[in-house]
Amino acid sequence: MKRANASPPIHDLLAERWSPRAFDPNDSMEGAAIDTLLEAARWAPSASNTQPWRFLIGIRGDSTFAEIVKSLKPGNAKWAPNAAVLILALAKHVKEDQSPLPHAAYDTGQAVAHLTIQAQALGLSTHQMAGFDSKIADTLGVPEIYKPMTVIAIGRTGDADQLLEEDLLAREKTPRQRRARDQIAIQGRWSKSLED
């Protein structure tokens, strides 16, 4: 576990959440655990209660899982197949009448965050990935009004030394870092300190 060095302290579920790559390939997830994760996502807030998020769930060994794995960029394809579950998160970005849902990506991100923290509460690990081919949506029959946002690997962590190649192992063991608070937020007007 790579606990965040947070000051002031934050809730343990937030401090202990991180994105491992060393998933235990022998772990499996029961339907009840998946249902609990999805229920947490279901209760996320959304603009005008539109609830634009949708999730396609692949369980290791099924065809959806295999298709999601095929969509992964090479770096992610090295480790993600060991996860017990891969979920493709999508955002409904337009209504049926083609009027936009401008907050769909934001709302879907909140739903994924709820899912992630619920996973942490269940003793599960998650790793969200942008490194995938969005054409997976076509492969899985998704209508065009839904945009792929992320793939989420879920499972229990295993022994990184045994599961990861050297380049990934180094990244797995690197301490977590974040920008200082004054580089992400200030009270008042915009400041140069907020710029990269």
**71: CATH:** 3.40.109.10
Residue 121 placed within a domain? yes
Tell me what the pLDDT averaged over the chain comes to.
96
* pLDDT for the residue 107: 98
Residue 35 placed within a domain? yes
Domain tally for the chain?
Answer: 1
What is the pTM assigned to this prediction? 0.95
Query: Hunting for tokens 């946002």 — which residue is that?
Result: 149
Residue 49 placed within a domain? yes
Q: Taking a C-beta distance cutoff of 8 angstroms, is the pair 146, 93 a contact?
A: yes
Least confident range from 61-70, 72-81, 135-144, 166-175: namely: 166-175
Q: Please name the residues in contact with 123: beta carbons below 8 A apart, sequence gap of 6 or more.
A: 156
**Domain carrying residue 131:** 18-194
Write b or e for each residue in 96-127: b if 16 or more Cβ atoms lie within 10 A of its Cβ, otherwise e: eeeeebebbeebbbebbebbbbbbbeeebbbb
Residue 28 placed within a domain? yes
Q: Does residue 74 have a pLDDT over 90?
A: yes
What confidence tens digit (pLDDT) does each residue in 94-105 have?
988 889 999 999
**Distance in angstroms (rounded) separating the CA atoms of residues 29 and 152:** 14
Residue 65 placed within a domain? yes
What confidence tens digit (pLDDT) does each residue in 17-54 have?
999 999 999 999 999 999 999 999 999 999 999 999 99
Q: Taking a C-beta distance cutoff of 8 angstroms, is the pair 140, 89 a contact?
A: no
Residue 141 placed within a domain? yes
Dihedral (Cα; 119, 52, 106, 79), 10-degree rounding: 40
Residue 3 placed within a domain? no
Residue 130 placed within a domain? yes
